[in-house]
């Protein structure tokens, strides 16, 4: 079940009315509806998510050491996502038959990191409140953020879930607007771009440099509209309940450095890696050489988190290298901010190609064809595309939570609700009631 589907709308309305008319069962409704939400994709993996919140509770109550707790929380992720990759990379062919070869459990990486953050925060007393089994289950399972984040900390969500949900027009207007913006990003933008560029990335050697430019320019927008669209819908679904989730994107393509980009792209994941890997390694407090090592290692792990493939590790590693280069050379670059934004987008867009293409031969073919015919790509059609992409980057100025909140306060529900219904019906009509699953569902 994905947010941009009729099934989810029916599910959400059902949960809405259950909480509305049975407020004393609020926590139980959230827990069991979240289990249903997760099981809708593949019921067998419900056992897996029960393991996550069940073991998290046991680990906290029995005060297991962090080494034991984190190791056991990581076991499902390593088996389901990385076992085949590890055995093949280490040439352990006799173990390949024991590797998992089926469909990846939905959002296993997100759920794992959520559970790890909870266990570490409680153990280190970053979060000091007493937690019941119900508190932990509700925190891990909360359906708006369950599948693709934002990755939450205990202090961000548990106090919100403990409050009584009070439905009012202000929350409803904000939630509907946020959900609608995310829906438009996903259905009308991300899914449309996918139709144009997925065949190009599938077989880049079958296309010329003109076509590759389309894929090069449009994929960064596809992944942005797809992922930020999901998060907007998650924030919207929560806002209707009066529950505020942290923003996960803040105009990432309008940044003037790669460092700034990673502070504004998938913010909750970047913060997770900073707090639970980079800083424990020593961060920037252990000398310049160690700083660079910590940065490259952290980004390489972040790349591996995205998938069991060498291209993801390379993508993370190169991000780390360029981040180190920025820190080393920042005093030598004194250019106009608009030029910095352009150069930063150029770098990020190249890195996105590495992220997108898992096969190294296809990756090499893409860059070879693209750059060997670079000066012939500037056809009228592609110039128009470049202009549209520039406008797309500039439009991020308006993709702003504060602006959306301001509009929601001024708008009337009698106007917001009909617009919401009309756009949803139009979107479902275009996509026959649903859409492609979100890109980050695979991570």
User: What are the residue numbers of the active site?
Assistant: 306
Question: Cα(136)–Cα(153) distance, rounded to whole angstroms?
Answer: 12
Nearest Cα neighbor of 184 from 4, 326, 327, 62 is 4
Q: Which two tokens stand for residue 306?
A: 């995205």
Q: Which residues contact 93 (CB under 8 A, 6 or more apart)?
A: 87
Cβ pair 353, 216 in contact under 8 A = yes
Cβ pair 230, 438 in contact under 8 A = yes
Nearest Cα neighbor of 265 from 364, 355, 161, 328 is 355
Question: Cα(338)–Cα(256) distance, rounded to whole angstroms?
Answer: 8
Burial per residue of 213-234, b for 16 or more beta-carbon CB atoms within 10 angstroms, e otherwise: bbbbbbbbbbbbbbbbbbbbbb
User: How many other C-beta atoms lie within 10 A of the C-beta of residue 294?
Assistant: 22
| Rounded to 5°, angle at Cα 324 from 323 and 329 | 100
């Amino acid at each position: 079940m994905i947010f941009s589907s009729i099934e989810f709308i029916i599910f959400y309305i059902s949960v809405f009315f259950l909480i509305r008319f049975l407020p004393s069962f609020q926590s139980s409704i959230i827990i069991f509806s979240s289990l249903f939400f997760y099981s809708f994709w593949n019921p067998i993996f419900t056992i897996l998510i029960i393991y996550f919140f069940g073991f998290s509770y046991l680990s906290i109550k029995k005060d297991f050491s962090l080494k034991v707790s984190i190791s056991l929380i990581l076991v499902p992720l390593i088996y389901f996502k990385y076992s085949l990759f590890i055995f093949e990379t280490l040439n352990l062919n006799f173990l390949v038959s024991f590797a998992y070869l089926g469909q990846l459990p939905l959002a296993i990486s997100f759920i794992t990191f959520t559970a790890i953050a909870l266990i570490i925060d409680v153990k280190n007393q970053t979060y000091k409140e007493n937690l019941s089994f119900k508190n932990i289950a509700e925190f891990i399972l909360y359906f708006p953020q369950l599948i693709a984040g934002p990755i939450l900390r205990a202090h961000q969500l548990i106090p919100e879930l403990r409050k009584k949900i009070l439905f009012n027009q202000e929350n409803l207007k904000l939630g509907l607007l946020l959900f609608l913006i995310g829906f438009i990003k996903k259905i009308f933008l991300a899914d449309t771009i996918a139709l144009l560029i997925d065949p190009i990335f599938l077989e880049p050697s079958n296309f010329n440099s003109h076509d590759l430019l389309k894929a090069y320019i449009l994929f960064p927008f596809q992944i942005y509209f797809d992922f930020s669209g999901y998060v907007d819908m998650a924030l919207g679904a929560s806002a209707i309940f009066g529950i505020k989730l942290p923003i996960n994107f803040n105009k990432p393509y309008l940044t003037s450095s790669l460092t700034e980009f990673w502070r504004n792209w998938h913010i909750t994941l970047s913060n997770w890696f900073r707090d639970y890997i980079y800083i424990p390694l020593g961060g920037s407090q252990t000398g310049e050489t160690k700083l660079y090592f910590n940065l490259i290692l952290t980004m390489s792990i972040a790349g591996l988190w995205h998938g069991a493939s060498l291209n993801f590790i390379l993508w993370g590693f190169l991000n780390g290298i360029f981040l180190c280069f920025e820190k080393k050379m920042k005093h030598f670059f004194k250019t106009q901010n608009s030029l910095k934004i352009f150069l930063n987008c150029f770098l990020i867009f190249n890195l996105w190609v590495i992220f997108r293409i898992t096969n190294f031969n296809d990756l090499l073919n893409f860059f070879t064809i693209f750059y060997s015919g670079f000066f012939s790509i500037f056809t009228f059609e592609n110039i128009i595309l470049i202009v549209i992409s520039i406008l797309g980057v500039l439009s991020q100025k308006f993709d702003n939570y504060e602006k959306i909140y301001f509009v929601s306060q001024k708008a009337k529900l009698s106007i917001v609700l009909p617009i919401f219904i009309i756009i949803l019906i139009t979107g479902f009509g275009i996509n026959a009631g649903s859409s492609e699953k979100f890109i980050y569902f695979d991570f």
